[in-house]
Amino acid sequence: MLKVYEIHNLEGLKLEFKFKLDLNIKTDEYEPHIWIRHLLEPEQVIAAFLNISEQEYNQEYKRWEAYSKVDDLNIYYTFLNKKHDKIMIITAFKI
């Protein structure tokens, strides 16, 4: 299975966000998983990440599970490096 990613950089904060792309069977093009599954744009998720109001680490799945009250958005993510400036967004969704 081909894994394709989209990178978004926040230059001022020196953060890099990586989003997995899934194949959209309707368009036969790769689009962000968060868009295909939850109709969320990467910019929405990045804004919510910057507004995280609560989070906890899920040891079983080795990921952070966060919530932004301001954006009413759940974000599951992990850090890709020890500096914590490269973030893999696993998924994001509203309840």
Prediction pTM value = 0.91
- Total domains, the chain: 1
Tens of each residue's pLDDT in the chain, 95 residues: 566 899 999 988 999 999 999 999 999 999 999 999 999 999 999 999 999 999 999 999 999 999 999 999 999 999 999 999 999 999 999 98
> In which domain, by residue range, is 55 found?
4-93
Closest CA to 68 of 87, 53, 57: 53
- How much is the pLDDT for 37? 94
- Other CB atoms within 10 A of residue 15 CB: 16
Pair 87, 17: CB distance under 8 Å: yes
pLDDT reported for residue 65: 98
Asked whether the beta carbons of 40 and 93 are under 8 A apart, the reply is yes
